[in-house]
Chain A
Amino acid sequence: MKLDRTRVLERKRAFRRQLAALPIAEKLRMLDALRVRTLAIRRASISGATKKAVDQEAPPDR
C-alpha cells in the first residue's frame, strides 16, 4: 500500500470541516465525550511513575 500524504492531509481537513459544520448541540455532546475520555486517561496516568510529570503540566484550558 502506498501512502499518499497529501491525500491523507486533505481527508483530515475535510473531516475537520465536516465536524465544524455539525449543529452546536451535537458538537457539545462530542466535547462531553472527549472530556470523559481525557479524564479517564489522566486518571490512568496518575501512577507512581508518571505522577510528577502530571503535576507539572499546564493549567486547565482557557
Chain B
Amino acid sequence: MINTMQADGVLERYAIGGAVGATFYLEPVATLDVDVFVEFHTEPGSQIASPEPIFKFLHDRGCPMENEHVVIAGWPVRFLPAGSPLLQEALAAAVEKDVDGTPARVFTAEHIAAVALETGRAKDKARVLQFIEADALDLERLQEILSRHGLGGDWQQFERQFLKQR
C-alpha cells in the first residue's frame, strides 16, 4: 500500500524505523504500531508539506483511522515527518528489503540506533544495547553519524552508563 502511495506521488519517499525497523536486524522487538517516516509531498505553490493526501489516499481505500494511526492490514501505522537532519539522512540512506516478495524501505541499523539515542527514553537506550549485544552495528559508521548530528556527547554518556563495565 505504501509503495503504491510512493508510485502515485502521494509521498516523496518513506522508510520504516522504530521497533519494526529494528526487527529487520534483531530478534522481533515487541511493539503496538509501525513507525513510517515520510517526506511529504509539497503542494504546488505551497511551502507547507501536508500529510493530508496520505490520509485521504488510505481512507479512500478503506483503511480506518485510530487516533494518530491509520490501520493498514491490521497494523496501526503512524506516519511521521522526517523533520530533523538526522531523520532526513536516515530516510535518504534507507535500504530496500524484501518481505515475502514485496520491497520495503527500512532505516539502516546504524540510523535506527542513532535515532534511538537521540530520542533517549529508557526503551530507546535498551534498543541501542540490543543492537550492540547482537553485534548488528557498524560502530565506525554509527560514530560518523553521531558526530555529524552532534550526538557525540549522548554516546559518551551512554557508554559510561551501559558499556564501561561490560
Our verdict on whether A and B bind, yes or no, reads yes
* A34 within 8 A of partner (CB): yes
The residue of chain B having its C-beta at the shortest distance from the C-beta of A16 within the complex is B27
* B26 within 8 A of partner (CB): yes
* A28 within 8 A of partner (CB): yes
Bound CA span A27–B32, Å: 15
Count of interface residues, chain B, beta-carbon cutoff 8 Å: 30
Number of A-B residue pairs at CB separation under 8 A: 65
- B33 cross-chain contacts in A, Cβ below 8 A: 60-61
Query: Interface range on chain A: under 10, 10 to 19, 20 to 34, or 35 or more?
Result: 20 to 34
* Contact between A39 and B32, CB atoms less than 8 A apart: yes
* Contact between B27 and A19, CB atoms less than 8 A apart: yes
* Contact between A24 and B99, CB atoms less than 8 A apart: yes
Interface centre among A27, A58, A60, A62 (most CB of B within 10 A): A62
* Contact between B25 and A20, CB atoms less than 8 A apart: yes
* A45 within 8 A of partner (CB): no
* A46 within 8 A of partner (CB): no
Interface residues of B (CB under 8 A from A): 17-20, 23-33, 35, 74-75, 78, 97-100, 119, 121, 123-124, 133-134, 136
